[in-house]
Structure 1
Amino acid sequence: MFLKKIELSGFKSFADKTVISFENGVTGIVGPNGCGKSNLTDAIRWVLGEQSGKSLRTGSSMSDIVFSGSESRKPVGIARVTLVFDNEQKIFDSPFEEIEITREIKRSSGESSFYLNKTPCRLKDIADLVMDTGLGRDSLSIISQGNISSFADARPEERRLLFEEAAGVAKYKKRKKTSLAKLENVHANLERVQDHIDHLNEQLETLREQAQKARQYKTWKEELSGIEIALLARQISACEESLKKCTARLEQNQLDESSAKVRLNQQEDQLEQLRKQIFELDQQLSMDQNTYTKTLEESYALQRRKVEQDEKRKYAIDHADDATRIASLKEMLTEAEFEMKDRSSRLSEMRDRLTQTDAQIRQLEHAMHQAQMDLSSNQNHLNSLQSRKMVLENRLAAPYAHQQGVQAVLKARASLQGIEGAIGDLLRSDVEYAAMLSAALGGASEQIATRDDRCARLAIEFLKRSRAGRATFLPLSVCKNRSLFPDQQIIADHAEGILGRAVDFVSCDQKYGILASHLLGNILVADHLKNATEAAKTLKYKVKIVTLDGDVVHAGGSMSGGSRKSSNNAAMLKRDLEEVKTSIEKGTKKIQEITSSISDLSSKNNRLSENRIQLRIDYEKLENIYRLKKEKVDDLQAQLSSLNAYANTGSSVIEEDSLVAQISEIHARLDDLNSMIQVSRTSRSELASQADSLEGEIRQLRRTLSSLSSEIHSDELEKARTETRMEQALMRLNTDYSLTFEAASEYTCELAEKEANSRVKKLRSQIASLGDVNLSAPAQYDEVSAQSEFFESQKEELEAASSKLLDAIDEMDQSMIVQFTEMFNKINAQLDGIFKAMFGGGRASLSMTDPENILETGIDIDVQPPGKTVKNIQTFSGGEKALIAISVLFAILKARTMPLCIFDEAEAALDQANVERFARYISRFKDQSQFIVVTHRPGTMAQCDTLYGVTMQKDGVSRVLKVLLKDAAKMSQSNSQSS
């Protein structure tokens, strides 16, 4: 016994779990048409790996084998079939004595799962297990009526497959197929290896020349480097010496400036003190003059009184005409009052002029103080602008000095391949768009464009080898034209403030148009940030937008902006430099204007001060005259009153003497006051002279300070330039040669400066004459040589593998030829006897269509039934063909024992006599093979040892039960009647 049992669940019409146990001998499966008995054969084929839905009589999908339901039964979700085999005789190559193979499929996914002894496995594992056991998917162990017809009607080449299965050469064919695939792979690898070898040999020829050029370049470059390092060391030493002198001169000028500022402050304070003293003297003079005037008035009053006394006495003596005197006095009084009023009006005007002059002086002093502060502030700002100008000029001369890697590549571009330049230099714009372009490019402006990715890799290797820093490269070969999507372009065209795409504002060489499009083709430009944010919102933040001021709304919604950081973009640097130069011109002009204004203000102040002093003196004189006129008016009024009163009394001699004494005292006081006034005026004149002298010294100090400031600025510029030259030299040492100044100082050059520069020029010309130099050529040559040797060894190994595989294939071919020939002869030897038994005589034989090509020959069957001539199988009737095919199958079974044979209505086309012969012949083999026969022919049933009946009720579900022979006959009769 080989197949012990089969378990079905959900498979086709077997909706319920069904278990069929098999015994030794012949087991028959009977039942009426449509009951599902052939589904048992399909189940066995399915478990053993059948993948064809047509062979399993299903629909287009394998999941159709799952029970789909009926009017009274619901469909099930999974189909599962298990075969249990007895492996005591080790038919299967497995240590287990019982083999259980299960396959299941789910309706939902349509995917099959396989299990071997309940362990998940692959279809391939099942196929390998049953290979050469006679149970393969295309084996002769499962024979149906369709197989019989197919075998009889098959072409000789197709019929050969059955004989190959019988010969057991499937494993050889599989191994041969694998070996041929390996051989094909080996040949493909050989072609690839040979292509590599050919390509490497071409490279070696090129690299040999490049390596020679690289060695010459290295020799000249080392000499050039030695001279340049020595010259740089000399330059740095000279710069250090110059810096020492410049620093000492700068420090001295700064000390002189500080000392001059101290002196200026002191003299300005001293001038302020002098002006204060002059003001106090002016006040004292005014007081003294007032006192002098009052004393003079007292003198005049006493003299008038004395005159009155004299006149009274004279009046009394002379008895003059009073009427005439009165008239005369009135006329004199009128004239005196007119003069007094005139002096009063002039005094008022002079007071206004004094007040106005004082206000003007205060305004001038405030303006001078403010102008001095403006001068200092503008001078500091101008110094800052000069420093900024020098920095920008240096940066414009070396825009990528802070990017060591970028600067190193750009300096070495003559010796590198395909270096186009920094992107910020390749893409240009007008000055007004410089900020926009800088913002649009961002960090890409400092990237280096290369011809292709190979040139970028070579440049990176150069940076690594020379330890010159890092840089980012963009190969032109990877650049693509970029633009907005059509819907985005439509929105941009109608958005307020959108000026266009950034690429439209850029100019560049034609070859860099793809670079501009790659970086700027999908970036929009807006006039200002508000419109940029509105447009970005409309575009759902999927497009980057930059403004003319350099603000950015990034794709995604983030924004960047604010004051601009200094850029390395040449246009931006030039723009900043022009702005700084313009500011310097304006600042210089402003300082000149302020200096001129201070000089004018100082002159005006001096004139106003002098005018004020003169006005004060004139005012005091006029004030004295006014008092005299007023006293005269008062005196005339008194005389007139006295005359009108006919005063006729005289002064006593005592009163007259007293008046004379008082007048003498007042005259003495007047003399003292006049002396004091003269002394004050002399002192004021001296102080004014000192103030004028100080003002001259202050002007000279200011000129000195201005000169010192210019010298200091000049020294600072020279120092900065020297420091820049020294830093550039140090940077060259570090960037180009990875050396410090101390290390460079050890390099010596016997040549003088002029000769050294001449040699440098010649070496550079020689190096330039070499053209592009592949510095890595020697190493590449060694590397390619090693690769060539490696591929040669690979070629030898592959050729050896190919020879070995060909030998193995030849060996397998010989084994298949031997086994196939032996099996063919065995089957052919058995066929004639079986044919005679099945046909009651006659003869039959097999023949090869191409005996010279055993591996591919077809199989023909030549048959001579009793009493007839020899014919090919194709010329017989259907029943005869079936009997001939069955004869061949029995011949195969006799030549090679099969552990299990399944006949699914294979004898359906035979008549009753031949069915009985067929059944009897099966019985002859039941001791060596297990037979399962699906049939409805009584003759076949009669030879079965065990019978199972398959029935189907109205629910559309197949059921299995053991039956007796008589019941099987009834089923067969029922089947015949239904037919």
Structure 2
Amino acid sequence: MIFLKKFEAKGFKSFADMTKLNFDSAMIGIVGPNGSGKSNVIDAIKWVLGEKSIKSLRGKKSDDIIFHGSNSKPKSEFAEVTLTFDNTSRVLHIDLDEVAVTRRLYRGDGNNDYFINGEQVRLKDLLDVFVDTGLSKGSLGIISQGTINWFADSKPEDRRTIFEEAAGIGLYIRRKEETLRQLERTQTNLDRLTDITKELQRDIKKLEVQASKVKEYKEKKEELTKLEISIIVKDVVAANKELDYVSKMLNESRNSNITLEPKLNALIEELIIYKDKLEQSDIKVSKFSFELNEIINKINKLEIEKSIIDNDLKLDINSSDYSSKVDALYEIIVNLDKEINSKKIILDRNKNEFEIFNNQLVELDINRNDFTNSIYDLTTKNVTNKTNLTHLEDTLRNKPNHDGGSKAILNNKDALTGILGSVMDFIKCDPEHAQAITIALGKNVQNIVVNTIRDARRCIDFLVNNKAGVTTFMPVYEMKPKLIKPEHLEIMQHIDGFVGVASNLILKLEKKIQPVIDSILGRIVIATTLEAASEISKYTFSLYKIITLDGQIINPQGSITGGYTKLANDGFIGLETRIKEVKKVIESEEAQINKLRIKLKENDLASMELRNKIAERKANIFKFDDQIKNLETEMIKYKLEYEKLSKKAYEPLEGNKSEFTLINEKLNLLLNTKEKVENDLYANQNNKKLLKKKIYEIEETIDLTRKAIDKNKDIILEFDKKELKNINIIDNAKNKLNDTYKMTIETAIESYSEPLTISDNVARQKIEKLNKEIGYMGNMNMDAINELKEKSERYDKMKAEELEIAEAKDDLLNSISELDKKAHEDFSNTINKINEELPKTFKYLFGGGDCRIEYTDPNNILTSGIEVKACPPGKHINSLFALSGGEKTLVALSVLFSILKISSFPLVILDEGESALDPSNVERFANIIHAFSNETQFLVITHRPLTMEKCDKLYGATMLTKGVTTMIHVTLSDAIKNYANDKPDAE
């Protein structure tokens, strides 16, 4: 039988180079002189099969089995041996036809690696494969002189291992030992689990009481939470709704007053102007009335004088005296002519004034259009700037460039701790730097500045709990400023176009906040132009980001980002400055608008006066035109009568004037003056009427405006209180939700907007009651329910494990009982069979005598030691210890061969096992192993020719190089000639 097919060794003891032996025969002999290393083959086999004792391998420490070097070869770094077995008959406990077992050890490591067919395994796995093969430690499958001595001298309990292997119960024994260890562990685990379950039962009882209290608390708390948050939500929604209405009313009232108050001021100024004009007109009316009376008095006197003369003239005209009649007609014609000329002067003056006033009115209308257009343009700009101001103020207040997380934190700032504001709140800079600083800050502008890491963690928990977004927090006491190297800063300061380090351009920065700003802007440089930025980057080795005033960027390492960028509101930086500037512009515009409105009113007053004068002049033109026509008609009548009577044409005569003529000239002059004064008087009287009417209208409008303003003020006062009340409701709700429930208003509204089944009053009473009941419950273990659940689950698990382990224990006990039964039966049968064969083999080897095996404790076969009772021919001994070396060998061989007859080992290794025998016994030894070679493969290390003769194949061990073993195939004659020796090997 061939079981061991191949032997390969490298670096093991004296096998410096790869040594391969093909064992293709049933009986292999290994021969060689002492010290040649032939026994190292056996050591290598024992080592691969799991031998752990370095001493049994003839060494002191693990490195001793690794080739230690020679004069011609360096030492090996590892030892490796591989044995290849034919397992087609499944002798080994593994389902493979061929099994290659390898063991490897590295120098200085001390750790062994085991492989089966190249796959790493544990030593235990390897031993399980070879159990019951006769190759285990303590078996007779590997016999050396030491093995024989051990067999003879060992205790009966130790010797039974040989027979366990023969009985094939080694696997049972190993399984039983393992099962017993498992049983011990199982019992330990069972005891531990029993203690744990008892302890858990005690804990569960306590926790059930605590959990019941917590459950009641949670039920009340849950009810309270739902009611309280629902009421808070209802209050907040109502407050927000009312706040919307209040805000609308306040905005309307404030906006109304914003419009009405300037209007009132304008009306008052207008009233002052109209009253002033009225006063002036009143003075003029008095003046012109007085003048007119004076003129009328003079006219009346002249009219009386004229009427006397008129009567005389009429008498003369009607007289029969030709001369008197002609003279009277002539006098009447002269005076009519002068009166007509006087009227024409007045008419021409009225026409001229009508034209002048019309031209002035056109000019005033043009001025009015200019004033109106200017007021419209300024008002439009003013409205735009006010809208822009509102937008800027909203931007400053609402921070629309902030993401949801930042807004949520800032909106709940008062309810949290340690929040100083967003980075944007601390950024103030000159307008010329705003665009560069905005780009430098980027999204960092919305980062939240807090005092400590603990504050940041609380804020993060708040955002997580409310699913309110993400933001970056900057704890002031943890920030590590990033600054420009001093030597680089010194270089920059000498380069044209260097504006400064971004962090140094921030105005009015608190010392506490400086590390935050330095960490963001401390390594960013601002330059005037891209050329200057390039120069700075070149001289600072492209280490820093450089931003130009118009927003171009040179990045570290030299890349350039550029183009046109429009930043709304300068990126929200410098808003306060912009707001102040816009307010100044608005104030200036409103002042200009007021001035223009006053000028417009003055222009309108002037237009009104002109229209009165124009109307008066127009009436006068019609009046005097009619008067002139009537006078001319009358004059023509008198002329015709004169010319008829005098027989000559009328010609005015120069020279002394008559009294009637002088009176008429004076009267015409007075009438002319009177007409002028009347014009002025009537114009001022009309102005006065219009002014009074306008003043009345203005005063009425002022009164209505004041009432509207007062009403708006009352509304503002009333709704300011309502606004404050609703803001307080919302702020209190915000604080309550955050402090008690760690919840934002938005989350509360989203989750608790369902209407309650009870009224608000009942809900509020219920909330008060629940708060009191919860307060009375005192302290409690809030984790009791979780602990109860956890411990109950653990108890159930442990109890299940306890039952499972108890069942496993029973299974193990049953397994042990079955193993004991099987082992007892197999072991007893094997011992009986050995006792049948042993006397025969013993007699064959000894030439007589008797030998048998006995139990030291027959009542306990599975634990009993094994005693070998050997009686060589002519001797009666009580102990193997008393036998000679040769006799001990024969006894051991007798037992081995008896075992092989009933339970053949696949491989037997004999390391000079016959060295103590005499030649006749050697021959019997050789014959018997040759006979067994059909069922068992033998590997024999020998010096004895008779043994060599029986071997199918011989390998010779030699040291061609000192310290290095070489294995060669040798013939029988060469082996006997070179290696035969009756002395034992002393390697």
Q: Any idea what the Cα deviations from partners look like across 1:502-542, whole Å, max 9, x if unmatched? A: xxx9xxxxxxxxxxxxxxxxx987878556999xxxxxx9x
1:445 maps to which of 434, 458, 462: 458
Q: CA deviation at 1:172?
A: 0.9
How far apart are the structure 1 equivalents of 2:228 and 2:478?
51
Counterpart check, 1:23 vs 2:36: no
Residue 649 (structure 1) aligns with: none
Alignment-mate amino acid for residue 972 of structure 1: A
Q: Is the 8 A contact 1:838 1:883 kept in 2?
A: no
How far apart are the structure 1 equivalents of 2:83 and 2:19?
11
Q: Any idea what the Cα deviations from partners look like across 1:861-918, whole Å, max 9, x if unmatched? A: 6777788885655577xxx346415522431331343332111123445566765665
Q: Is the 8 A contact 2:156 2:856 kept in 1?
A: yes
1:888 maps to which of 886, 892, 900: 892
Name the SS for the 1:953 alignment partner: strand
Residue 101 (structure 1) aligns with: 100
How far apart are the structure 1 equivalents of 2:233 and 2:22?
102
How far apart are the structure 2 equivalents of 1:196 and 1:470?
42
Residue 950 (structure 1) aligns with: 957
Alignment-mate amino acid for residue 747 of structure 1: I
Q: CA deviation at 1:6?
A: 2.7
Q: CA deviation at 1:139?
A: 3.4
Alignment-mate amino acid for residue 194 of structure 1: T
Counterpart check, 1:960 vs 2:941: no
Q: Is the 8 A contact 1:30 1:968 kept in 2?
A: no
Alignment-mate amino acid for residue 201 of structure 2: N
Name the SS for the 2:967 alignment partner: strand
Q: Any idea what the Cα deviations from partners look like across 1:729-785, whole Å, max 9, x if unmatched? A: 9999984995545x43x5358xxx5x8755653343123212357899789878976
Alignment-mate amino acid for residue 132 of structure 1: D
1:936 maps to which of 927, 934, 943: 943
Matches within 5 A, 1:770-785: 770-771=777-778
Residue 979 (structure 2) aligns with: 971
How far apart are the structure 1 equivalents of 2:986 and 2:710?
134
Q: CA deviation at 1:21?
A: 4.2
Q: CA deviation at 1:171?
A: 0.5
Alignment-mate amino acid for residue 444 of structure 1: R
Counterpart check, 1:3 vs 2:3: yes
Matches within 5 A, 1:318-333: none
Alignment-mate amino acid for residue 33 of structure 1: N
210-219 vs 953-962, greater mean Cα deviation: 210-219
Q: Is the 8 A contact 1:423 1:445 kept in 2?
A: no
RMSD: 7.7
Matches within 5 A, 1:419-498: 425=416, 436-437=449-450, 440=453, 444-446=457-459
How far apart are the structure 2 equivalents of 1:35 and 1:103?
24
Q: Is the 8 A contact 2:948 2:976 kept in 1?
A: yes
Alignment-mate amino acid for residue 445 of structure 1: R
How far apart are the structure 2 equivalents of 1:946 and 1:252?
118
User: Structure 2: 5+ residue runs without aligned partners?
Assistant: 292-373, 400-404, 427-446, 470-476, 486-500, 504-509, 526-542, 544-566, 569-575, 604-653, 738-743
CA distance 1:187–1:900, shift in 2 (3 Å):
same
Q: Is the 8 A contact 2:16 2:76 kept in 1?
A: no
User: Structure 1: 5+ residue runs without aligned partners?
Assistant: 293-365, 393-398, 408-421, 450-459, 464-468, 473-482, 499-504, 506-522, 535-540, 542-561, 564-579, 581-585, 610-653
How far apart are the structure 2 equivalents of 1:423 and 1:668?
88
How far apart are the structure 2 equivalents of 1:373 and 1:705?
26
How far apart are the structure 2 equivalents of 1:530 and 1:382?
31
How far apart are the structure 2 equivalents of 1:670 and 1:682?
18
How far apart are the structure 2 equivalents of 1:158 and 1:929?
25
Alignment-mate amino acid for residue 958 of structure 1: T
How far apart are the structure 1 equivalents of 2:30 and 2:771?
101
Residue 528 (structure 2) aligns with: none
Name the SS for the 1:135 alignment partner: coil
Residue 142 (structure 1) aligns with: 142
How far apart are the structure 1 equivalents of 2:49 and 2:519?
76
Alignment-mate amino acid for residue 140 of structure 2: L
How far apart are the structure 1 equivalents of 2:414 and 2:161?
70
Q: Is the 8 A contact 1:18 1:960 kept in 2?
A: no
Alignment-mate amino acid for residue 204 of structure 1: I
How far apart are the structure 1 equivalents of 2:697 and 2:948?
150
Name the SS for the 1:29 alignment partner: strand
Q: CA deviation at 1:961?
A: 1.7
Q: Is the 8 A contact 2:224 2:767 kept in 1?
A: yes
Q: CA deviation at 1:931?
A: 2.5
Alignment-mate amino acid for residue 961 of structure 1: H
Residue 209 (structure 1) aligns with: 209
Q: CA deviation at 1:948?
A: 3.6
Q: Is the 8 A contact 1:153 1:874 kept in 2?
A: yes
How far apart are the structure 2 equivalents of 1:861 and 1:497?
101
Residue 167 (structure 1) aligns with: 167
How far apart are the structure 2 equivalents of 1:814 and 1:772?
64
Q: CA deviation at 1:675?
A: 6.7
Q: Any idea what the Cα deviations from partners look like across 1:3-22, whole Å, max 9, x if unmatched? A: 37435464753846644444
Counterpart check, 1:747 vs 2:758: yes
How far apart are the structure 2 equivalents of 1:761 and 1:21?
97
CA distance 1:713–1:844, shift in 2 (3 Å):
farther
CA distance 1:253–1:915, shift in 2 (3 Å):
closer
Name the SS for the 2:450 alignment partner: helix
Matches within 5 A, 1:528-567: none
How far apart are the structure 2 equivalents of 1:167 and 1:780?
57
How far apart are the structure 2 equivalents of 1:656 and 1:850?
197
CA distance 1:100–1:689, shift in 2 (3 Å):
same
Q: CA deviation at 1:936?
A: 1.6
Q: CA deviation at 1:805?
A: 0.7
Q: Is the 8 A contact 1:949 1:968 kept in 2?
A: no
How far apart are the structure 2 equivalents of 1:66 and 1:134?
29
Matches within 5 A, 1:702-713: 707=710, 709-711=712-714, 713=716
How far apart are the structure 2 equivalents of 1:266 and 1:497?
48
Name the SS for the 1:771 alignment partner: coil
Residue 804 (structure 2) aligns with: 797
Q: Is the 8 A contact 1:278 1:687 kept in 2?
A: no
Q: CA deviation at 1:175?
A: 1.4
Q: Any idea what the Cα deviations from partners look like across 1:154-179, whole Å, max 9, x if unmatched? A: 55554443343233221112212332
How far apart are the structure 2 equivalents of 1:232 and 1:767?
19
Name the SS for the 2:29 alignment partner: strand
Q: Is the 8 A contact 1:48 1:136 kept in 2?
A: yes
Sequence identity (%): 25
Q: CA deviation at 1:855?
A: 4.6
Q: Is the 8 A contact 2:420 2:449 kept in 1?
A: no
Name the SS for the 1:2 alignment partner: coil
The TM-score normalised by the length of structure 1 is 0.54
Q: Any idea what the Cα deviations from partners look like across 1:348-386, whole Å, max 9, x if unmatched? A: xxxxxxxxxxxxxxxxxx9xx999999999999899999
Name the SS for the 2:910 alignment partner: strand
Matches within 5 A, 1:756-771: 760-771=767-778
CA distance 1:691–1:53, shift in 2 (3 Å):
farther
Residue 177 (structure 1) aligns with: 177
Q: Is the 8 A contact 1:5 1:84 kept in 2?
A: yes
How far apart are the structure 1 equivalents of 2:93 and 2:135?
13
Q: CA deviation at 1:947?
A: 3.6
How far apart are the structure 2 equivalents of 1:100 and 1:220?
73
CA distance 1:205–1:714, shift in 2 (3 Å):
farther
Matches within 5 A, 1:706-745: 707=710, 709-711=712-714, 713-714=716-717, 717=720, 718=722, 722=726, 735=748, 740-741=753-754, 743-744=755-756
1:816 maps to which of 814, 819, 823: 823
Q: Is the 8 A contact 1:835 1:842 kept in 2?
A: yes
Residue 83 (structure 1) aligns with: 84
How far apart are the structure 2 equivalents of 1:192 and 1:423?
55
Q: Is the 8 A contact 2:274 2:695 kept in 1?
A: no
Alignment-mate amino acid for residue 810 of structure 1: S
Residue 616 (structure 1) aligns with: none
